[in-house]
Structure 1
Amino acid sequence: MIESVINPLNTDWTTWVITAFCALVAGMSKSGLKGFAMINIPLLANLYGGMASVGILLPFLIFGDIFALVYYRRSAEWKYIKILFPWALAGVLIATFFGRYINDEQFRISIGIAIIICLALIVYKDIYGGKQVLSDKKWFSSSLGLSGGFATMIGNAAGPIFNLYLMSMRLPKNVFIGTGAIFYLILNLLKFPIQMFYWDSISLKSLQLNFVLLPVLLTGAFIGKRIVKYIPEKAYRYFVIGVISVSAIMLFF
Structure 2
Amino acid sequence: MNTMTLWHLSAAEFAILAFAALLVGFSKTAVSGANTVSLAIFAAVLPARASTGVLLPLLIVGDVLAVLTYRRHAHWPTLWRLFPAVGAGVVFGTLFLMWADDQIVRTSIGAILLLMTAVTVWRRRTADKEDEPDAVTTRAGRAKARSYGVLGGFTTMVANAGGPVMSMYLLSAGFRKLGFLGTSAFFFLIVNVSKVPFSVGLGLIDGPSLLLDAALALFVLPGALLGKWAVDRINQRLFEQIVIAATVVGGLQLLLR
* TM-score (norm: length of structure 1): 0.83
Structure 2 counterpart of 1:172: 176
Amino acid at match of 2:128: D
State the Cα distance separating 1:92 from its structure 2 match.
Answer: 0.1
In structure 2, which of residues 179, 184, 188 is the aligned counterpart of residue 184 of structure 1? 188
Aligned to 1:80: 78
Task: Say which SS state the counterpart of residue 30 (structure 2) adopts.
Answer: coil
Match in the other structure for 2:223 = 220
The residue aligned with 1:152 is 156
**Secondary structure in 2 aligned to 1:210?**
helix
Instruction: Give the direction of change, closer, same or farther, for the CA distance of 1:139–1:121 in structure 2 (3 Å limit).
Output: farther
Matches of residues 1-253 of structure 1 in structure 2 within 5 Å?
9-101=7-99, 103-104=104-105, 105=107, 109=111, 112-113=114-115, 116=118, 120=122, 123-127=125-129, 129-131=130-132, 133=134, 136=138, 137=140, 138-196=142-200, 198-231=201-234, 236=236, 238=237, 242=241, 246=245, 249=248, 253=252
Q: Distance in 2 between matches of 1:46 and 1:228?
A: 28
Match of 2:255 in 1: none
Q: Tell me the SS of whatever aligns to 1:170.
A: coil
Aligned residue type for 2:183: T
C-alpha distance in 2, partners of 1:63/1:51? 20
Q: Is contact 1:115–1:161 with CA below 8 Å preserved after alignment? A: no
The Cα of 1:31 is off from its aligned counterpart by 1.1
- Is the 1:15–1:47 contact (alpha carbons within 8 Å) kept by the matching residues of 2? yes
TM-score (norm 2): 0.82
Q: Residues 213-251 of structure 1, C-alpha deviation per residue, up to 9 Å, x if partnerless?
A: 2221101110011000224xxx64x46865785587468
Amino acid of the structure 1 residue aligned with 2:78: Y
Structure 1 pair 87/122, CA: closer, same or farther in 2 (3 Å)? Answer: farther
The 1:195/1:132 distance shift into structure 2, 3 A limit, reads closer
> Partner amino acid for 1:220?
G
State the distance in 2 between where 1:155 and 1:203 align.
18
How many aligned positions are there? 241
Distance change >3 Å, CA 162–CA 242, structure 1 → 2: farther
Quick one: which amino acid aligns to residue 82 of structure 2?
L
SS of structure 1 residue aligned to 2:211: helix
Tell me by how many angstroms 1:163 deviates.
0.9
CA distance in 1, matches of 2:17, 2:208: 14
Distance 1:248 1:15 in 2: 19
Amino acid at match of 2:21: A
Give the 3 Å change call, closer, same or farther, for CA 93–45 of structure 1 in structure 2. Answer: same
Deviation at 1:83, TM superposition (A): 1.7
CA RMSD of aligned residues (A): 2.8
Mind listing any 5+ residue stretches in structure 2 that lack a counterpart? Answer: 253-257
Secondary structure of the corresponding residue to residue 24 of structure 2: helix
